[in-house]
Structures are given as C-alpha cells and as structure tokens.
Structure 1
C-alpha cells in the first residue's frame, strides 16, 4: 500500500508534455533507458504512454521510423543539390562581394568542380593568403564565441524570431548590455536571418465607426483559424486579444465551435477579466453574425464588424494568428485533439509571459497590462 500511495499520478496534459520532451531527448541520441531516467519514469511506463497517447502502435512505429530515415536521406540529397545550385548562382558576375562569400565560392569550385586552390582563387579574385587566413569567428580567440552560440540556440528554439527579439531577450531576460547593432551583425554573420513575407498592400475602407484601443478592455479582437490532426480531422482554434495590451484572452480548441460554445467561453472570459470590453472586433463569419452572439452582446458590449474580405482591418488578431501559425501550428503535427489543446495553450501562455513586444517598449503583454494606467477617451466612437 505504501508503494501505491507514493506513486505519482500524471494528468493527460503532463503525459503529452513528457512524450514531446522524450522526442526531443531522442533526437539528441539518448537511449530509451536514459530518456526514462531523465523524465523520472520507468521504461515500461514510457512504452505504455506511447501506446496510449502516441497515436501509433508498434508496427506502425517501426514503419514510421523507416520512412523517416528514408525521408532524411532524401532531404540530405536534396540539400546537397540545392547547395550546388546556390554556389553556381553565387559565382555569377557582380554577386561575390565579401571575403566570406569568396571563400565559399572557392570551396565550392574545389569540391564540386575539382579545381585547384590557385586556379579557384584566381577565378574568384581572392588572394590565396586571404583564403587561408581563418576569420576571427572561426578561431579560439574570438571574444564573441559564447554570444554566437547563444544566438544559434535561440534561433533554433524560436525559428520565427528576428534579431530584435533576440536582443530583447538578451537585454531584459539575460541581463546582458550587448548593443543591438552588434547582435544584428552577429545574427547576419551566423546566417540566422528570417525571410519576411511582405504581402501586397491594399487600401480598404471600413464601414464601422473608428474605435481606438487607447486603453485596456476597450477593443478585444476575435478570430478563428484551422489546423488538422494527423488523421485528417479538422481542428478549429478561437483566439482573442486585447488590442491595447496584446494579451491573449481566449483559449478554445475544438473539432467544431458552435455559436453557443463561443458564447459560453466568452462569458467565462468576461467573468475572469472583471467584465466585458467596450467593443468586440470581428469578421462576418457564421459564428460572429449568429443570433446567439447577438443576444449575448446586446446591452453589454458593442460589436464592430470589419467589411467582408478586408482582414487588414482586423490587423492585431491577424498578426497574432500569423505568429501562432508560423511558430506553433507549422512546427507541430497533432496526433490527438488533446495534444493540440495542450501545446497551443502553452504557446498562448508563453506569448503573454515571455513575448517582448517592441510596441510595448519590449515589455511582455502581462508586464505591460500590470503597469498600464491608461483610461479610455471616446472620440467619434458610438458604442451601444
């Protein structure tokens, strides 16, 4: 009885998190016994968890492992071919500017085309002594070795972040006084730039009265987005943020979200937050224009609908959804609805506590909300 009383009961959410941690440890080369010891459980428990929550049985797991190995080999072959194509483009006239780029061109010509070092340097226009001298970043005397390693680790964990957010984490979380320009230089030298997609700008005209989120609990923006589990079944995600503090307020992940379910969750948020906002901003989706939501918001909170087909008029929640898509949804495959709920919920919680927003003076949304003392001043705003 004493052994049974001492055993720890794990919730389903804790099991999902530990299985994901086990996958990360397995990727580093640890054995099953070492992983189980690291997680504080037995190997048998790990096996039972994977059978119950992993989404595949033993035979499917073996087949999946073989497919992953084949996929990895194909990816390596494709990466090698792409590197060769990039090098051939790079040695085109007018593109080789820095010594580092010239070194890479020489290496490519030597390895791919079998040229001698002397002839490759002559073609590229790089002196042989310059080619042989190692850059400071590749020597043991480099004073920024530790900082470079930290930036690489940060970029691996946060693949959608840029150098500004890395600098903010160094300054405010790590306590480092490093200059932003230096972080930018090292970020570029390590090749950690994130290609930013700039969509075509459009001019839209909203039919609603302008409402400025000049204080907390003035404008809350609401929207939906979709994903799917590995079996192809839909996952619907409802998100809502305060446009002033950028806090994520709603965590709702279901197979299907009806208007009645949305109203029930909004009621919970209003209760926790001490009342409704002045305005709910949303698009013209079927849940948004439903009779249930209209009745719920009547005489309590105003509704501002953006014109159909103009998502840029709801830019705050669209920006949050883009970050959720690129940093969470696109980086995970859900084996179950429970796993999606746990991971998406953790992401939204981390957004409130860890994401430093430049528009908030590099404070997190939670920190800014705790310090904010702004009050609402209605200007040309009709809120019923």
Structure 2
C-alpha cells in the first residue's frame, strides 16, 4: 500500500477510535517517521501549467517533444519529470480522439498582419494527374500582401520536403515571423519544428476541425483550385509543376487582389 494511503488510514483510525498516532501506526504496522515525513520538493504548478499550454496548441506532441520545447525555454529538469507530469495530467496521445474532446489553444491572441513577411499561411491541396495518380500541392501565402512565395506539387511530402521548400522560398523573399498551419503530420514533424526554432519562426497551429482558424489559406486554395487545378489536365508531375508555377507567377503579378491590396513587389514576377 502506498504511503499516502496508509497515512490516510492512520488519520481515520485516530479520529474514529480516539487513539494516538503512535498506537495507530503500531496497529497498522506503519513507520511513524514515514507518517510525519514532509516532502521538500518545490511546487510544480508553473511547470504543469506550461506543459498544458504546450499540449493545448501542439495536440500531437508526446512528452519527449514537449520536453524539448521546455528545454528551449530554459527549464532545466530531467525528461523523467516531464513524463511523470505529462501522464499525471492525462495528456497521453490517443490514436482516435473524438474532435469534441481535442484540446487546442483559442485563437483570441491573434492580431491582423500589418506588414509583409509577418505572417504566412501554409496548407496542402489534393488533386490528381490525368492517369489517376494522386497529387498534393503545398500552398503558401503571405496573409498581408497575398503574395505566394511557393506552390509545389509532389506525389508525397515529408517534413524534410516542406523544410526544403520553405528554405528556398525564404532565401528569395525573407523569413516570416509566423506561419499558420494545421495539425497535419508534415507540419508537426521534428524537421519543421527544428527548422522553425533555428530560424526564429513561430508555428501557429490551428485547432483540429477548425478550418476558419486558417481562413486566409482556405480562401487562397479555393481560388487556386478554381483558376488552375480545375482548368488544367496534368499529364505528368513535371507538367503539373510547370503549370502551377505559371499560375503562381500570374497570380503574384496581378495588379490587384480580391482583398484590395495592390502588390508592389514586381521583382518576384
């Protein structure tokens, strides 16, 4: 029996039978020094709150990746402590969690972008070749200027592929302060997390099942599908890459976008 449970039994015996702690401990064969022991461990409420805050936003992170983020923020405790608190809070990952039970950070702290490269949005669009082969397109857009730094079709994507595309785009137009993404496996990957940390980029995750948290990329994807994907047959991956890049350049060079913001960065056309 755990000491905490035995200590509770001692208190119950003392209260019910009106006996001393010494006699109650002797009857229950419980050492009095253990009963009187007071933990010297400092409080961990702040650490618990921080772990919960991380898991509310990064809902697919296990305790190891949570510990990495804590170390980056200056916490110096061991990984075992993170694991213990993570489990005590009931944050273990479940493969099939109903959407109504998934926790996520509310979007009440977002502010409208006021300049280019302040906030990007990123997502995937699905399509297929004329042969029926499935195709995915990584779409990226600056939510202030509506400039699209990259549109990349591929058959499959990994986290490292997303990092390579972002690095090429950022070398041309600069690094964003924040990138809004959903909870897709490519976006919660270790590769993208490490890249964002090294480049000083914040990954702003949407709540699962809430596409309105990333409404800018949804609107962009709708226009991209209507004007490009639905109007072309893609015979091969190379053909898709060429046509998608042509549309991206046309979109970026448009004199005015639906938002009313006039793009002045013609050097990227």
How would you bin the TM-score normalised by the shorter chain? 0.5 to 0.7
What secondary structure, in the 3-state scheme, does the structure 1 residue paired with 2:188 have?
A: coil
Conserved? CA contact 1:206–1:313, under 8 Å:
no
Give yes or no for the alignment of 1:341 onto 2:241.
yes
Conserved? CA contact 1:211–1:219, under 8 Å:
no
Distance 1:254 1:360, change over 3 A: same
Aligned to 1:303: 203
Aligned to 2:126: 226
Aligned to 2:182: 283
Aligned to 2:114: 214
Give yes or no for the alignment of 1:262 onto 2:262.
no
Give yes or no for the alignment of 1:315 onto 2:221.
no
Distance 1:341 1:358, change over 3 A: closer
Displacement of 1:206: 5.8
What secondary structure, in the 3-state scheme, does the structure 2 residue paired with 1:222 have?
A: strand
Pairs within 5 Å for 1:29-48: none
Aligned to 1:243: 143
Following TM superposition, where does structure 1 have runs of at least 4 consecutive aligned residues deviating by more than 3 angstroms?
Answer: none
Q: Please, which runs of 5 or more residues in structure 2 have no aligned partner? A: 1-103
Conserved? CA contact 1:282–1:304, under 8 Å:
yes
Deviation digits for residues 82-122 of structure 1, max 9, x if unmatched? xxxxxxxxxxxxxxxxxxxxxxxxxxxxxxxxxxxxxxxxx
Aligned to 1:328: 228
Aligned to 2:251: 351
Displacement of 1:360: 2.8
Alignment length (residue pairs): 161
Displacement of 1:268: 1.2
Displacement of 1:224: 0.5
Q: Please, which runs of 5 or more residues in structure 1 have no aligned partner? A: 1-204, 371-384
Aligned to 1:292: 191
Deviation digits for residues 276-319 of structure 1, max 9, x if unmatched? 11101011000000111111111510110010111111111111
Structure 2 CA distance for aligned equivalents of residues 265 and 330 of structure 1: 24
Distance 1:281 1:230, change over 3 A: same
Pairs within 5 Å for 1:40-189: none
**Alignment RMSD, CA only?**
1.7
Larger fraction in strand = 2
Instruction: With the length of structure 2 as denominator, give the TM-score of the two structures.
Output: 0.57
Conserved? CA contact 1:224–1:236, under 8 Å:
yes
What secondary structure, in the 3-state scheme, does the structure 2 residue paired with 1:251 have?
A: strand
Instruction: With the length of structure 1 as denominator, give the TM-score of the two structures.
Output: 0.40
Larger fraction in helix = 1
